[in-house]
Amino acid sequence: QQQVKQSPQSLIVQKGGISIINCAYENTAFDYFPWYQQFPGKGPALLIAIRPDVSEKKEGRFTISFNKSAKQFSLHIMDSQPGDSATYFCAASIFGNEKLTFGTGTRLTIIP
Amino acid sequence: GAGVSQTPSNKVTEKGKYVELRCDPISGHTALYWYRQSLGQGPEFLIYFQGTGAADDSGLPNDRFFAVRPEGSVSTLKIQRTERGDSAVYLCASSLTTGRGSEAFFGQGTRLTVV
């Protein structure tokens, strides 16, 4: 059973634009929602994370929006840059870092 | 010290053979995780250790898979009688402790190919 659904599968955005990736979850016991960035040949790296008691968290150009009632959360990348081109994974867990459940990933390409 | 180190980076083995994948976590990290990432998919949880003990091994697909962490540091993932479906990137991660606020750092993974 896929507990975290991620869309779109791939995304092309012009440099300077806003990249938006969406995730939906099923398990209401999830209480930790991180986003990971993965470059080819590398392991995932934590980008930003949110807890369900806040609706938004911003770190630099990266923002997570969280809608608890809809069981959805999204990543917004403002002023997207070519260096942001990577695969992005949303994830969720119940007790923090243990047993992360990942989405299927979004391959983001930023074009000049 | 440096980040999470996984060896080998690539492993090609014949169907039916036994393989061992090694993970050196960041020094001082008590929690260690194994994930498996198939092509085009997100990582899937296999097992996590808190210290020397396996706190949750519910993600191991079957009894051909086994992992140990005898001294609470280095961990080895062992796969017996490998099958072509075991081909994937095996990722290891470690964190200072468990729970929110303790970031998990991933290694680069071991790409296992079963031919």
Residue B101 has pLDDT above 80, yes or no: no
Beta strands in B1-115 (DSSP E): 5-7, 10-13, 19-24, 31-37, 44-50, 53-56, 65-68, 75-79, 88-95, 105-106, 110-114
Q: How far A79 CA lies from chain B's nearest CA (Å)?
A: 26
DSSP state of B84: G
Comparing B97 with B33, which gets the higher pLDDT?
B33
Interface of B with A in 52-71 (CB under 8 A): 55-56, 58-59
Query: What value, to the nearest 5°, has the Cα angle with vertex A96 and ends B26 and B76?
Result: 40
pLDDT confidence of A73, banded at 50, 70, 90?
very high
Rounded Cα distance between A89 and A68, Å, is 19
Give the one of A6, A89, A96 whose C-beta lies nearest to B100's C-beta: A96
Q: How far B81 CA lies from chain A's nearest CA (Å)?
A: 26
Indicate left, alpha or beta for A67 from its phi (over 0: left) and psi (-120 to 50: alpha): beta
Q: Which residues of A touch B101 (CB under 8 A)?
A: 96
Judged by CB atoms closer than 8 Å, whether chains meet at A104 and B56 is answered as no
Rounded Cα distance between A24 and A66, Å, is 10
What is the percent of chain B with per-residue pLDDT over 90, rounded to a whole number? Answer: 87
pLDDT in tens, B28-39: 999 999 999 999
Residue B115 has pLDDT above 60, yes or no: yes
| Gap between the terminal Cα atoms of chain A | 39
Could you give the residue ranges of the DSSP H alpha helices within B1-115? none
Q: B90 in contact with A at a CB cutoff of 8 Å?
A: no
pLDDT confidence of B1, banded at 50, 70, 90?
low
pLDDT in tens, A38-69: 999 999 999 999 988 899 999 999 999 999 99
Chain B: residue nearest A100 by CA? B45
- Report yes or no: B110 and B12 within 8 Å, Cβ to Cβ: no
